[in-house]
Structure 1
Amino acid sequence: MLSAPVLAGAPAYLAAPAPSTPLGPFEDSAVSWASWATLMSFVGLVALALVVAAPARGAGERTARIVRTRLGWAAVVAGVLALPAVLTDQAHSASRTGYDYGAAWRGLFDGSGAGLLAGLETVLPFVAALLILPVVIRRALPARLVTGLRVAALILGVVGLVSTRIPTSLADNAGRTVFQTFMWILHLIGGGVWVGGLIGLVVLVAGSGLESGFWSPAIRRFSIAAMSCVAAISLSGLFLYWEHVDGPTQLLSTMYGRVLGVKLLIFGSLLALGAVNQFWLHPRIDALRAAGDERPLRTVLVRRFPAVVGVETVLILGLLFAASFLHGSARNQAFQADAAKHATGSVKKLPKLPQKEVSASTWIEGTAETAAVLVVTVAGYRFSGKLARRRVGRVRPAEG
């Protein structure tokens, strides 16, 4: 929190009350959450379908068909629902009192930069869902065609998702704006692949019917994607924290900080569950596959894996919901509260802090954080692989 001398150059105010920083209407956050959840889920579901395609084909034609159909229909539903969800969010933003769907629809592709981005965000996931339809409707399609349709749908979905954070102009500091946008793209794609992947695993686990040989390589492949997502979210999250928060005390003293604190607690819980998956559950699934399906451990894993994945899915959807309550900046909320506290005159609008200046030490710290996240991610993946190989080496297939 800034002290009174820092405000010496600011205009004089009369004992103004501390600025209110409410969470905002629940309805606004719910509408925003629906938009984010559908956009990100579509991207993650298509990405998961690409990731597990080879293990599904290796497990047999029946398993490949089940995986393709379940993930395909889930992606189609998410992409179709994204259209009304995003349009509703835009209609709500276009009206102060309700939902102006007419204004929102007219704003799509209206010739302006904002209209182009709004149109891409609204239309592309729906078009991408149409590309996935042949994959689930036709029983027999060439593998290359299926892969091509999925890749095209994924590209369209990613463009629609990142359109939500593409600026309409580069303003004064073009370099910083580009870097901020890149960080947001990392954050969104990482979160999308993670949340959609978890939803996809829940869809695959429900009803099961899949060959046991599918799960071990499929989970291992998803683990690589999930750990990459964690690295991307961590790196971009560190930058966003640096940009909006001036120290840990603001996590408790400002509304932005408290909401961010809830988000960080949920993220920490997800990391803990991910560690359980990576270092305990996945190695045992590998060992189970090597030992055969009749071992007693199979029942334990079959029960625990869906439960863990289900809890992770609920948590990550809750994290998205918490993120929809993040408004403004902890730095500005703390600054304005201090300005009101030391005010000597009345004012309608309190000042805001300028953006943080990037220095050489900022780049050094950022580089060190990047290296640390990458080292931990790679080391964690390699260590879990060693655990899996060690457990497989101890087990021999049951005889008889």
Structure 2
Amino acid sequence: MPFSDPLPQSLPTAAPSPSTPLGPFLDSALAWASWSTVMAFVGLIVLALLVAAPSGRVGADTQARVRTRLTAAAVAAGALAGPAALVGLAHDAAGGPGGGYDYPAAWAGLFDGSGGGFLSGLQVGLPMLGALLLIPVALRRAPAGRFHGALLWSGLTAGLTALGSARFPTQVRNGLGRTVFETVVWLAHLFGAAVWLGGLVGLLLLALPGAVAPADRGTFWAPTIRRFSLAATVCVAAITLSGLFLYWEHVDGPGQLLSTMYGRVLGVKILIFGSVLVLGAFNQFWLHPRVQALRTEGDAGRAAGVALRRFPIVVAAEVALVLLVLFVAPFLHGSARSQAYQAQQAQQAQQVGKARQTTLADAPPPKLPAKQASASTWAYGSAETAVVIAVMVIGYRCSGRLARRRAMAVAATTPTSHPLPTSTARNVPS
């Protein structure tokens, strides 16, 4: 997509100097609590579905502990997501900064017949409904059946709907096609972040002692990490492509990343996101091949042990960075394009004189109209999409080849002519 478009010159040429658009810290903290809980709820359920096959290859005790730990965490996240959304609505109903919380007004606004009330009701009610559906799965320690799978899919549907309702439009703006496309982009952005965050939280919980028995580590961890790597690769592609569109929509060139408050906050978000990608690459290209070697008989030595010890540390760092991204995101208000234009008009207003400035002191800051996509925009966007998908596919396939080569190298050096003593064989992961 093109990196810059010229600012129009036909809009009003005088406006007050724009204020700092960071917004109150409390508002961002409330938004962070709401986003992080519902995203963790969705991602934990997705991970529970992803590890269903690997957990089915291990012992019944490990299978039950894995399922119980993930679904119990999802129940907790869903139970917190609904109240967190209600607290944010109560704060908004009280009038914003310094207004406190008006819970009766917020509660009365749920499903009040308006489009906004319906979406607010979904945000509050669906996560708690999904958590309620998962309680039988979290409490039952018997092997999962079709009933458990149906409950997981029902809870996931409730979570995705609650997450998406925050970006469902209540009216058509800039045409039906543009509204639908923007909604799809936002849903890809949110769903990708949710699966990534919740999956990392779930992997961290499973890496803690007590979930996977030592004898089941090789059978469980290698396919589990590989499955999550595929899901994470898809999520990174979705976040990157949707982020590129949002960048094109709100920023006119890299210079606005430094000259506007929106751009500086976005720059911080991009830097943190890049740090998460670095840790993810380390996980996929260094840790995963060593964990894969656990599936090779006889490799229970130093390399595998180091990989398993470092894995939860890296995952914990990724979780912290993703949560930090979610905390920074609510500080993005407006757009860098409009803020740059407001600053330009404020400079021109200083030349008009104090009388003119006084007249316009109470006028709202001007905003630029939405960008219109041209043929070159679609060409750039198509090229970016192809490049991102190609990089993700190549990276995933290369990490898989590294894992297979390491496993083959370990197998070639593992002695097989002499069987292990019975007491030693019990300690070797299968």
> Does the pair score TM above 0.5?
yes
Q: Tell me the residue number matched to 2:371.
A: 356
The superposition leaves residues 331-353 of structure 1 with CA deviations (integer Å, 9 ceiling, x where unpaired) of 00000001001112221223211
Q: Return structure 1 stretches of 4+ with deviation > 4 angstroms.
A: 5-8
Pairing 1:254-269 to 2, within 5 Å after superposition: 254-269=260-275
The answer as to 2:327 corresponding to 1:326 is no
The superposition leaves residues 146-174 of structure 1 with CA deviations (integer Å, 9 ceiling, x where unpaired) of 11110111011000100000001113511
Q: Tell me the residue number matched to 1:367.
A: 382
User: Are 1:291 and 1:398, in contact at CA under 8 Å, matched by a contact in 2?
Assistant: no
Distance in 1, matches of 2:127 and 2:175, equals: 31
Q: Secondary structure at the match of 1:48?
A: helix
User: Are 1:21 and 1:333, in contact at CA under 8 Å, matched by a contact in 2?
Assistant: no
Q: Tell me the residue number matched to 2:424.
A: none
Pairing 1:159-308 to 2, within 5 Å after superposition: 159-210=161-212, 211-212=216-217, 213-292=219-298, 294-308=300-314
User: Are 1:339 and 1:350, in contact at CA under 8 Å, matched by a contact in 2?
Assistant: no
Q: Which structure 2 residue ranges, 5 or more long, are not aligned?
A: 421-430
User: Are 1:69 and 1:136, in contact at CA under 8 Å, matched by a contact in 2?
Assistant: yes
Distance in 1, matches of 2:105 and 2:295, equals: 56
- Cα distance, 1:246–1:305 mapped onto 2, change above 3 Å: same
Quote how far apart the aligned CAs of 1:49 are: 0.3
- Aligned pair partner of 1:108 in 81, 87, 110: 110
Q: Tell me the residue number matched to 2:427.
A: none
User: Are 2:338 and 2:367, in contact at CA under 8 Å, matched by a contact in 1?
Assistant: yes
Quote how far apart the aligned CAs of 1:51 are: 0.4
Q: Secondary structure at the match of 1:362?
A: helix
Q: Secondary structure at the match of 1:114?
A: helix
User: Are 1:46 and 1:72, in contact at CA under 8 Å, matched by a contact in 2?
Assistant: yes
- Cα distance, 1:306–1:49 mapped onto 2, change above 3 Å: same
Q: Secondary structure at the match of 1:324?
A: helix
Amino acid at match of 2:178: R
The answer as to 2:64 corresponding to 1:74 is no
Q: Tell me the residue number matched to 1:144.
A: 146
The percent of aligned pairs where both chains have the same amino acid is 57
User: Are 1:135 and 1:141, in contact at CA under 8 Å, matched by a contact in 2?
Assistant: no
The superposition leaves residues 16-51 of structure 1 with CA deviations (integer Å, 9 ceiling, x where unpaired) of 653112311111110110000011110000000000
Q: Which structure 1 residue ranges, 5 or more long, are not aligned?
A: none
User: Are 1:266 and 1:319, in contact at CA under 8 Å, matched by a contact in 2?
Assistant: yes
Distance in 2, matches of 1:226 and 1:372, equals: 17
Q: Tell me the residue number matched to 1:11.
A: 12
Q: Tell me the residue number matched to 1:35.
A: 34
- Cα distance, 1:209–1:36 mapped onto 2, change above 3 Å: closer
Aligned residues: 397
Distance in 1, matches of 2:382 and 2:371, equals: 18
Distance in 2, matches of 1:142 and 1:215, equals: 19
User: Are 2:72 and 2:138, in contact at CA under 8 Å, matched by a contact in 1?
Assistant: yes
- Cα distance, 1:398–1:73 mapped onto 2, change above 3 Å: farther
User: TM-score, normalised to structure 2's length?
Assistant: 0.89
Cα RMSD between the aligned structures?
Answer: 1.8
Quote how far apart the aligned CAs of 1:299 are: 2.3
Amino acid at match of 1:11: P
Distance in 2, matches of 1:209 and 1:12, equals: 64
Amino acid at match of 1:9: S
Distance in 2, matches of 1:104 and 1:342, equals: 42
Amino acid at match of 2:372: E
Distance in 2, matches of 1:226 and 1:61, equals: 27
The superposition leaves residues 50-91 of structure 1 with CA deviations (integer Å, 9 ceiling, x where unpaired) of 001110111121111011110011000000001110000111
Rg comparison, structure with higher value: 2
Q: Secondary structure at the match of 1:170?
A: coil
Distance in 2, matches of 1:297 and 1:262, equals: 36
Distance in 2, matches of 1:22 and 1:286, equals: 48
Amino acid at match of 2:398: F
Distance in 1, matches of 2:13 and 2:410, equals: 76
- Cα distance, 1:92–1:398 mapped onto 2, change above 3 Å: farther
User: Are 1:31 and 1:89, in contact at CA under 8 Å, matched by a contact in 2?
Assistant: yes
